[in-house]
Amino acid sequence: MGLGVAHRSNSAQAGESLTTARKLARDARDLVQRGSDPIDERDRQRGAAREAEQAQKVEKARERATLARAARDYHERVIEPSRTSKHAAQWISSLENHVPAAVWHKPIADVTAPELLAALGTVRPHERARNISSEKVPETLQRLRQRLDAVFEDAIFHGLCTTNPAAAIRRKMREAQDTRQRGEFAALPYREAPAFLAQLREAEGIAARCLEFAVLTAARTGEVLGATWVEIDLDAALWTVPAARMKAKEAHAVALPPRAVEILRSLAALKLDAALVFPSPMLNGKPLSNMAMLTLLGRMGMRDRTTVHGLCRATFSTWANETGAARPDVIEACLAHEESNKVRASYNRAQFHAERRALLEAWAEYLSKPPASNVVALKVA
């Protein structure tokens, strides 16, 4: 086998090369005498050297890969292409605003579960996140943990770390919170919903009709507030929310119960806005704000008992699941919860339309029942 090229540029190099060559030759003879192949040994040593070099590169990459860098890389590759621009921006800003700098800028491989749990425990409403109220902190914590979980799983796949502390703290976070603090929006008990709707139907104004429509359809408030007449088919009793306005960027068809259609027809007759179903009465060409519905809840004495989101979605979900009004997958399809299995999601959308319509009509019928005698009627302040 060859022992390499001799250095001939100067005598010193030539001497060193000859010395090295003689040593290599002796080593090769020794290997042959021991029954080994010198070429195989050379290849093994070269392979080991390459592996060591690669290990050093990986280690250096790990040292450079902070949690912040890993999160931003995941956001750019995965979140931005699959979410609306608004949701994608909220996704990364929630981490940037709430994860303490000491953890955020730490090598991701060095972040531990106790450290991450303690870091999330510091989340409070502050000036960097003015839209986060104290009542929403638990829900924010769960979203942060879920997003960090995705970042760590991705980092494990790319060799930047070996463990996922965000997954490890899930149980601890749930153990530390009561039902009101488990990332759920405060929701009105469904047995009180008919009484609430009876009072709501008596209230006048666009905010009252918007809130009633949201409760009847179990839709997200953002989807309802941004609804346009182009999305509505009154004859088919169908509201199709385009993918661009959905959280999961998948178009969602909502079967409208009779009362929801009645609300829409009454608004159409008023011709409040050519495009928006629920326009702001104060700002021309702008949709109604969520604050308008919160103000309405306050006038009804309900602001401390429920959020708009909880009233519209969690109350419906609890009613549907506890009463067995439909199969769980039909309920989830009504709520437009994102299905990780895309094939199953497409199947659900295609197959459950009739069942979803039946479920929402049953919900509307339940809400229209006279309040039970043991339920105290709600009074508008």
What does the mean pLDDT of the chain come to? Answer: 81
Over range 326-337, report the average pLDDT. Answer: 88
Which sequence spans correspond to the domains of the chain? 11-60, 67-181, 190-367
Is there a contact between 216 and 364 (Cβ–Cβ < 8 Å)?
Answer: yes
Over range 250-267, report the average pLDDT. Answer: 95
- What share of the chain in percent tops pLDDT 90? 46
**pLDDT for residue 21:** 66
**pLDDT for residue 224:** 95
Q: What's the CA gap between 339 and 348, in Å, rounded? A: 9
What spatial distance separates the first Cα and last Cα of the chain, rounded to whole Å? 97
Is there a contact between 234 and 268 (Cβ–Cβ < 8 Å)?
Answer: yes
Window from 211-215, 320-324, 360-364 with minimum mean pLDDT: 320-324
Split at pLDDT 50, 70, 90, the class of 376 is: very low
**pLDDT for residue 352:** 80
Q: What's the CA gap between 304 and 260, in Å, rounded? A: 27
CA distances from 281 to 118, 228, 268, 269 (A): 45, 16, 15, 16
Q: What is the amino acid identity at position 1?
A: M
Quick check: helix, strand or coil at residue 30?
A: helix
Q: What is the amino acid identity at position 366?
A: Y
Percentages of the chain per state (helix, strand, coil), in multiples of 5: 65, 5, 30
Comparing 36 with 88, which gets the higher pLDDT? 88
Phi, psi of 191 (to 5 degrees): -65, -20
270-279 contact pairs (CB < 8 A, 24+): 272/206, 274/229, 275/228, 275/229, 275/230, 276/226, 276/227, 276/228, 276/229, 277/227, 277/228, 277/229, 277/232, 278/206, 278/209, 278/210, 278/213, 278/224, 278/225, 278/227, 279/206
- Does domain 190-367 fall under CATH 3.40.50.300? My reply is no
- What share of the chain in percent tops pLDDT 70? 75
Split at pLDDT 50, 70, 90, the class of 172 is: confident
Residue 138 has pLDDT above 80, yes or no: no
Nearest to 98 by CA among 80, 81, 122: 122
CA distances from 100 to 120, 123, 261 (A): 8, 9, 48
**pLDDT for residue 179:** 43
- Number of residues assigned to the chain: 381
Split at pLDDT 50, 70, 90, the class of 381 is: very low
**pLDDT for residue 350:** 55
CA angle 289, 314, 205 (to 5 degrees): 35
Is there a contact between 237 and 226 (Cβ–Cβ < 8 Å)?
Answer: no
Residue where the block lists tokens 């002796």: 26
**pLDDT for residue 1:** 56
CA distances from 212 to 189, 220, 224, 287, 381 (A): 16, 13, 10, 16, 18
Quick check: helix, strand or coil at residue 253?
A: strand
- Greatest mean pLDDT among 12-26, 43-57, 161-175 lies in 161-175
Over range 355-361, report the average pLDDT. Answer: 95
Count of CB atoms within 10 A of residue 297's CB? 21
Pull the structure tokens for residue 361: 């009509």
Strand 252-255, strand 232-233: pairing = unpaired
Residue 147 has pLDDT above 90, yes or no: yes
Q: What is the pLDDT of residues 37-78, one digit of tens each?
A: 756 666 777 777 777 767 666 555 555 789 999 999 999 999
Count of CB atoms within 10 A of residue 127's CB? 6
Cα 8 versus chain centre, distance: 66
Q: What's the CA gap between 209 and 129, in Å, rounded? A: 30
- Residue range 67-181 forms a domain whose CATH class is mainly alpha
User: Does pTM top 0.75 for this prediction?
Assistant: no
